[in-house]
Structure 1
Amino acid sequence: MRPIIVIPSRLASTRLPRKPLADIGGLPMIVRVAKRALEAKIGPVVVAAGDQDILDAVSELEGVQGVLTDSSLASGSDRVHAAIQMLDPSGAYDVVINLQGDLPLIDPASLTAVLEPLENPSCDIGTLAAPVQSDWERDAEQVVKIACDFGDALVTRALYFSRMPIPWGAGQHWHHVGVYAWRRNALERFVSLPQSALERRESLEQLRALEAGMSIGCARIEHAPQGVDTPEDLERVRGLV
């Protein structure tokens, strides 16, 4: 595999305005995410920005390339695809890791782990799952859960994603960590598809892939990193650095 890490980022966040530039311990959040990506040492790191201010924030970060994409793109996956088409039209990189720009505490080892499902040639997309640790985490709508069963394995197949606590009944629930390793051809196919019915209903774009018959594999990690979606999340992360 020849992976490249692309971090989609835009300023238009409704719950936390100008989120990528939020100060965390003296650094903009997007810089902290990019530095974590560099620490993984698995391939080039690109910030796919929807706004010039984001490019300016990472411009002096050695080893990170910034590219300006259309601010009106509908999703992070569309932004990642646009960036990779500009930077690598010949397809030299056959795996594209989509790292969310609101995960400043992501463990660099997780970016290696997300590649593990792609060791199976029938898997189109790799992602991450961590054990749910509390009733709040299980029931919170902002925490996406995965219907899957690892057993004793470290990699398994995702059967469904939901904001509800799936599957029903007693047993371990799994927190989806929104990092994706795309085979290049899978990403090309995905962005060409229209939104699916379940994607619209759950507001989860990965369901478009499942409804289209694509296979998503999950790598197990022990802890879900704290993401930043709200001012409260931001204060929590600031207290951890």
Structure 2
Amino acid sequence: MNKATAIVPARYASTRFPGKPLALINGLPMIQHVYERVAKAQAVERVIVATDDRRIAEVVAGFGGEVMLTRADHPTGTDRLAEVAAQIDAELIVNVQGDEPLIDPRMIDQAVTPLLHDSGIQMGTLAARIDELADFYSPNVVKVVKDEAGFALYFSRAPIPWPRDLSQDELAAALPHERLLRHIGLYVYRRDLLLAYPRWPKTALESLENLEQLRALERGVRLYVAETEYACHGVDTPADLERVALLMAKEKNN
């Protein structure tokens, strides 16, 4: 059974946190933490960092990682991913964000496994149960609704599905038991789909919600959503970096 190739897009430029991939966490650059954790996934046979910045490329090469330089004008990480995918021989490509230094390798396995077992699935992603009422209402937390077979029906920044007959207190109490899901931005693509994706024009719902995955749904792609019990701790700001460093130290001591 073929394994997947994981590609980690990494940009130096960032409005909120320039140079984020090279920020040190417990003495190692964040991109190294991500790379080493992704490499531990059983469903992954190769990890490549895709970057347009030579500083990042030099650091990755320095710790023994594989890196490919890409164009600097890609509008999205998916476009950067597709440029690399066009140059390699891999049936399955995993898109792992470069700002997830605490990603659990088992999350990657959970996302990849459905595509390994079912050749009819063209694209996959992850979701986790929502357990905080604030997350359900937050536009910064993307929600997903899926059908009984596990395929995505819709993604939204709005609280979906809407529990019409529950008060806020009742909803808060019911959250651990309701199937209210937050989307986790880890994707698995079959290579042909990934190469076609950047050529598809932006769709109406994608533009409205500012959610790139809606482009696939609007074109009829069946997107499988695997559920995970593991948490994500992305880094968007220097404050996030400090929080992750504490979590990492705690993880090491357990």
User: Shared topology, TM-score over 0.5?
Assistant: yes
Indicate the percent of aligned positions where both proteins have the same amino acid: 41
Match of 2:223 in 1: 216
The separation in 2 between residues aligned to 1:52 and 1:141, in whole angstroms, is 35
Tell me the equivalent position of 2:82: 81
How far apart are residue 117 of structure 1 and its match?
2.8
Matches within 5 A, 1:12-91: 12-41=13-42, 42-62=44-64, 64-86=65-87, 88=88
Cα deviation digits, residues 55-102 of structure 1 (max 9, x gap): 11211223x21011111111111111111223x1xxx31000011111
Q: Which amino acid aligns with 1:186?
A: L
Partner amino acid, structure 1, of 2:4: P
Runs ≥4 residues deviating over 3 A: none
State the superposition RMSD in angstroms: 1.6
Equivalent residues of 1:175, 1:224 under 8 A apart: no
| AA at the equivalent of 1:200 | S
Partner of 1:128: 126
Letter in 2 for 1:71: A
Q: Deviations over 1:24-52 (max 9, x none)?
A: 11111111100111111421110001211
Q: Give the TM-score taking structure 2 as reference length.
A: 0.86
SS at match of 1:59: helix
Give the deviation of 1:227 after TM superposition.
Answer: 0.9
1-structure distance, mates of 2:28, 2:182: 28
Amino acid corresponding to residue 128 of structure 1 in structure 2: L
| Superposed counterparts of 1:80-119, under 5 Å | 80-86=81-87, 88=88, 92-118=89-115, 119=117
Q: Is the radius of gyration larger for structure 1 or structure 2?
A: 2
**Contact 1:103 / 1:225 at 8 angstroms: preserved in 2?**
yes
Unaligned runs of 5+ in 1: none
What residue number does 2:200 align with? Answer: 193
Q: What TM-score, normalized by structure 1, do the two folds share?
A: 0.91
Do 2:147 and 2:153's aligned partners in 1 also have CA atoms closer than 8 Å? no
Does the Cα contact within 8 Å between 2:85 and 2:191 map onto a contact in 1?
no
Amino acid at match of 1:50: D
Is the Cα–Cα contact under 8 Å of residues 117 and 125 in structure 1 kept in the other structure?
no
Letter in 1 for 2:128: A
SS of 2:140 mapped into structure 1: coil
Task: Look up the SS of the partner of 2:14 in the other structure.
Answer: coil
Once residues 219 and 226 of structure 1 are traced to their aligned partners in structure 2, the CA distance between those partners, rounded to angstroms, is: 18
**For structure 2, which runs of at least 5 residues remain unmatched after alignment?**
164-170, 172-177, 249-254
Question: Residue 141 of structure 1 corresponds to which residue in structure 2?
Answer: 139
For 1:7, the aligned partner's letter is: V
Q: Distance in 2 between matches of 1:173 and 1:120?
A: 25
CA contact (8 A) 2:93 2:191 kept: yes
Q: Does the Cα contact within 8 Å between 1:146 and 1:161 map onto a contact in 2? A: yes
